[in-house]
Structure 1
């Protein structure tokens, strides 16, 4: 997958898509992991991340919308991708269809905020 192809796939699925596209156009790094994951498993993982982000007041983009999209997709198989900004201040997670031809959802997290455990 080329950066240009990925940019074309990042439309308005969630509020994180525009900033993720901008990060890619500015020279950010990206990739797509091998393997497929069922959306319902990802839904449970990212619903937990949403609760933790709210509890810790961590800045996110599109996480609420992504959780809703994953829930509606039920057991559809997805690929997971990522984009990091050049300065590593934001990290984006992408959820693509099984053939990696469509971005289904995108979420971002402020990578400058320290993660701590409770």
Structure 2
């Protein structure tokens, strides 16, 4: 996926997508993986991550919302990742297979050494 297309998907979304878009426009690296994954297993995986981040006190952006949207989505999604330029944040994007729109975006602050 081209950078401009990913920027389009992140425009006019929630706070997590706005932060991801800002990172992308600042030169962040990104990858959108080929293929799709069923949303339900992803919802369970990200629900576990949500519990873990709460226990550790890790700052997140939109993780609860992403879990909710993935759990309610009946179809497969395509995954992507944006790494902020400074390495402080990792954003995951979930793109619907059918209409190629952003389903959810979440950000997690990385541990700094």
TM-score by length of 2: 0.92
Please report how far the alpha carbon of residue 103 of structure 1 lies from its aligned counterpart in structure 2 after TM superposition: 1.2
Please report how far the alpha carbon of residue 57 of structure 1 lies from its aligned counterpart in structure 2 after TM superposition: 0.6
Aligned 8 A contact 1:10 1:18 in 2: yes
| Residues matched between the structures, number | 113
Structure 1: gaps spanning 5 or more residues: none
What is the CA deviation profile of residues 13-59 of structure 1, one whole-angstrom value per residue up to 9, with x for unaligned ones? 43210000000000001111122110001000000100111011100
TM-score by length of 1: 0.88
Please report how far the alpha carbon of residue 109 of structure 1 lies from its aligned counterpart in structure 2 after TM superposition: 0.5
Moved over 6 A (4+): none
Q: 1:78-93 residue pairs with structure 2 within 5 A? A: 78-93=77-92
Structure 2: gaps spanning 5 or more residues: none
Compare the two structures and name the one with the higher helix fraction.
Answer: 2
Aligned mates of 1:58, 1:65 — CA distance in 2:
16
Aligned mates of 2:43, 2:13 — CA distance in 1:
16
